[in-house]
Amino acid sequence: MGKETSIVEKLELVIPGFHGYKKKELLREDDRLVRGKVAEVLAQARREMERSLQSCAMVNCPQLVAIDTMRKKLMPLESRVRHAEAGYAGYFDRIKFREDEIKKLIEYDAKMIELAEGIRDGVGAINGGIANPQALGMAVLDLDDKLNSFEEVLDKRMSFAAGE
């Protein structure tokens, strides 16, 4: 007796291109996973920055307000990434993502991972510079540049996801 054909195999035989639908769903899942990773890296940076604030306050460093400003800038970025458009659109949704558009979203997300890791490293430089005011000042300026670059890429990603 031969092997029975599953319903999915039957659909693949009857509907040309059905296997592509499955691939698109995997791309959407990849997009969601990458954004989750970016949000987690930003959350790590935020927690580390909160520790920097505590250390800075204990030694009365001159960059306390600047570090707090960076923390306040980081928090909404983390939230925006975590809740960004997921690349999934139902039948009646206004925006539908094609496979090439999902790949573009993933490219944005890969750039955001790179930038988020740079932000996390920048926060580490702040921690290392608390005892040295000059190094701390440079680390704060560098982190501000990294946050601005990240926000720019995120804005482009959000505009792209919104179909603009």
Least confident of 7-16, 59-68, 72-81: 7-16
In the numeric block, which tokens belong to residue 70?
A: 């960076």
Q: Which pLDDT belongs to residue 147?
A: 96
Taking residues 48-72, what's their average pLDDT?
91
**90 — alpha (psi -120 to 50), left (phi > 0) or beta?**
beta
Q: Which domains does the chain have, with CATH numbers?
A: 31-86+93-161 (1.20.5.4130)
Q: Which pLDDT belongs to residue 90?
A: 45
pTM of the model: 0.77
| Percent of the chain residues topping a pLDDT of 70 | 71
Instruction: Give 60 or 146, the one with higher predicted confidence.
Output: 146
Identify whether the C-beta of residue 161 lies closer than 8 Å to the C-beta of residue 80.
no
Angstrom CA distances, 111 to 30, 94, 137, stand at: 14, 26, 26
* Mean pLDDT taken over the chain: 80
Q: Which pLDDT belongs to residue 96?
A: 60
pLDDT tens profile 71-82: 999 999 999 888
Q: Which pLDDT belongs to residue 88?
A: 47
